[in-house]
Amino acid sequence: MELGISMFGDLHLDQQTQKRKSPQQRFAEMLEQVKLADEVGLDVFEMGEHHREDYSVTNPQLFLSAAAAVTKNIELGSAVTVLSSSDPVRLFEDFSMLDNLSNGRAHIMAGRGSFIESFPLFGFSLDDYDTLFEDKLMLLLDLVRKNGTDITWDGRLTQNLRNVNLYPKPVQEQLPVWIAVGGTPASVLRAARLGLPITFAIIGGLPVNFKPLVDYYKENYLASGHDATKMQIGINSHTFAGTSNSIKDEYYPFYAAQMDNIGKSRGWAPFSKEVFMNTTRPEGAYFMGEPNAIIDKILQQHEWFGHTRFVGQMDVGDPDHKMLMKSIELFGTKVAPEVRKALGE
């Protein structure tokens, strides 16, 4: 199993001053964090895309290019590129550049996104939500599979291309494209039929309830004639490690503040400590607490899902930099080695 971390570049809001941490400070901290993730031997680092005041990263590949300069081995990818409001041609060019800068360590995680701010920003209609994603995904896959060479394309909502060649070419023979899904069966089926690696975002409730969806993906992947040895399934969940269970209490204020901030626009009830603590239980979706508890939960879910990659989203609410660095260190030096050992790697 590959193990890694993801971030959205959250910006902490000081409750007393009502001022957010500056993006400049957050970027500097995140570069230290991804550098540490590489040094402690984690396999993957992913960065998400948002267009809101509470997040700092609007362009994952731009940050990942900076991360490429301070890392050596860790794979670098988006933790959801909002494909529906992006240009697939530009994405291919950007990630090909990133692949060259990182010496072949880039991947794209394409998704529809859980926020919709990017649609009006870039002139797209929410009425075309599904069609935009389908059309742009097929164009992106065509670009990737042909390595940007001799592209002719007629799209419904994309540009038309005639004998186009794109540059630079990636270092890898083919840029990996993953699909990120929540709980929509149609999205799972699309990824399976196309033979694409998939990541399930399990960020609440009972993870075991996702087993039918994971099985649905596996069944349709194989039924579509794809090679079982190339099947890749990822799980992405909110994660935070500490040296004692008190880390839950220390992390809660950061996490709850961000949940309440998001909830204001979605009509959610105020986030409670009870919900937080219940979701950190062994059967819950949060991977938070001492390393042994996180190890046990990863291995339990591996029995359910048989997944090949686990990525913990670690910066929800932008916790204190030292706390986050310690969490990354523990995940890399305590959690990852034991999970690999248990799985015979």
Q: With 80 as the cut, is the pLDDT of residue 213 above it?
A: yes
Q: How confident is the model at residue 114 (pLDDT cuts 50, 70, 90)?
A: confident
Give the residue among 330, 324, 326 at the shortest CA–CA distance from 29. 324
DSSP code at position 144: H
- Per the CB < 8 A criterion, the answer to whether 85 and 124 are in contact is yes
Q: Which residues of 236-269 are buried (b: 16+ CB within 10 A; e: fewer)?
A: bbbbbbbeeeebbeebbebbbbbbebbeeeeeee
Which residues share a beta bridge with 44? 4, 75
Q: How many CB atoms lie within 10 A of CB 153?
A: 18
Q: What is the DSSP string of 20-87?
A: BPPHHHHHHHHHHHHHHHHHTT-SEEEE----STTB--S-HHHHHHHHHHH-SS-EEEES-EEGGGS-
Q: How confident is the model at residue 113 (pLDDT cuts 50, 70, 90)?
A: confident
Q: What domains can be seen in the chain, in order of their start residue?
A: 2-119+178-342 (3.20.20.30)
**pLDDT confidence of residue 65:** 98
Tell how many helices (H) and how many strands (E) occur in the chain: 12, 12
Cβ-in-10-Å burial (0-12, 13-18, 19+) of 31 comes to middle
Q: Please provide the distance, in angstroms rounded to a whole number, between the alpha carbons at the two ends of the chain.
A: 8
Q: What is the DSSP string of 74-137?
A: -EEEES-EEGGGS-HHHHHHHHHHHHHHTTS-EEEEEE--S--THHHHTT--GGGHHHHHHHHH
Length of the chain counted residue by residue: 345
**pLDDT confidence of residue 183:** 87
Which residues share a beta bridge with 20? 13
Q: With 90 as the cut, is the pLDDT of residue 345 above it?
A: no
Give the residue among 144, 30, 124 at the shortest CA–CA distance from 82. 124
Give the residue among 157, 233, 244 at the shortest CA–CA distance from 199. 233
DSSP H/E element including 192: helix 185-194
The C-alpha atoms of residue 81 and residue 186 are separated, in whole angstroms, by 19
pLDDT per residue over 217-275, tens digit each? 999 999 999 999 999 999 999 999 999 889 999 999 999 999 999 998 888 999 999 99
User: What is the chain's mean pLDDT, rounded?
Assistant: 96
